[in-house]
């Protein structure tokens, strides 16, 4: 029996942005081996990850309820995902020490409006690193 697909989770409260990211990722053959899932809140995303962990999460920072930074810290502490990419509309965002301590680097931060091709390139890089 084949192993279940790994998950890439996109967390954004704006449905249009979330669906655009999911649709864009689904166009690339190498992502066929991943289950692409979307969540509209940090709380919903954590519940989804408790049911099935993710290889990678693309996370908006400004969310209703739990913000993106708190989500990343919670998901990482519970080992529910191995890597996170941030996309934010805040031009003043600076990667906090807590996220740096989780292994995140400036290359993991994208500012809206997001160039989808750049996010896909980063996702590819992280997945390739994970496999090697």
pLDDT digits (tens, 9 = 90+) for 25-65: 888 777 787 899 999 999 999 999 999 999 999 999 999 99
pTM: 0.91
Q: Going edge to edge, which strands form the sheet with 109-111?
A: 34-39, 6-11, 56-60, 84-88, 109-111
**Separation of alpha carbons 76 and 90, rounded Å:** 23
**What are the chain's domains?**
6-131 (3.40.50.2300)
Q: How many of the other CB atoms lie within 10 Å of CB of 90?
A: 11
């Amino acid at each position: 029996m084949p192993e279940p697909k790994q998950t890439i989770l996109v967390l954004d409260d704006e449905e249009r942005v979330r669906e655009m990211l999911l649709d864009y990722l689904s166009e690339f053959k190498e992502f066929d081996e991943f289950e692409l899932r979307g969540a509209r809140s940090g709380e919903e995303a954590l519940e989804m990850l408790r049911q099935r962990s993710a290889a990678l999460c693309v996370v908006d920072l400004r969310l209703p309820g739990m913000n993106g930074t708190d989500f990343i810290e919670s998901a990482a502490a519970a080992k529910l995902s191995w890597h996170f990419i941030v996309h934010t509309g805040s031009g003043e965002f600076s990667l906090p020490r807590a996220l740096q301590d989780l292994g995140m680097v400036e290359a993991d931060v994208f500012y809206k409006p997001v160039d989808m091709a750049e996010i896909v390139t980063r996702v590819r890089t992280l997945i390739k690193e994970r496999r090697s």
